[in-house]
C-alpha cells in the first residue's frame, strides 16, 4: 500500500487531497504511535527488572527465614 493512501474506518483516502490540518493530524498520530512503541519497549524492560528484584527479595527473605530456623 502506498504511504499516501490513508485508511480511516475502512475507507481509503489519498493524503495528497487532504487539508493541511488533516495532514498535521496524521503526522501527530504517526508520532504518537512511535512514542507508544518506544514506551512499550521501555515498560517491558522495567517489568523484567521489577520481577528480578521481586524474585531476589523473595529468595532473600525465604533464605533468612530458613537460616533463623536452623539457629
* DSSP string over 39-64: HHHHHHHHHHHHHHHHHHHHHHHHHH
- Residue 58 in grid coordinates: 523473595
Segment-wise mean pLDDT, segments of 10 residues, the chain, 71 residues: 85 96 97 98 98 98 87 66
CA 40/CA 43 separation, integer angstroms: 5
Q: What does the chain come to in residues?
A: 71
* Domain residue extents for the chain: 5-70
- Threshold 0.85, pTM exceeds: no
Amino acid at each position: 500500500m502506498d504511504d499516501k493512501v490513508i485508511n480511516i474506518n475502512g475507507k481509503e483516502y489519498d493524503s495528497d487531497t487532504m487539508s493541511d490540518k488533516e495532514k498535521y493530524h496524521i503526522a501527530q498520530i504517526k508520532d504518537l504511535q512511535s512514542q507508544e512503541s518506544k514506551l512499550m519497549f521501555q515498560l517491558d524492560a522495567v517489568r523484567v527488572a521489577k520481577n528480578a528484584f521481586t524474585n531476589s527479595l523473595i529468595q532473600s527473605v525465604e533464605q533468612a527465614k530458613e537460616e533463623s530456623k536452623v539457629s
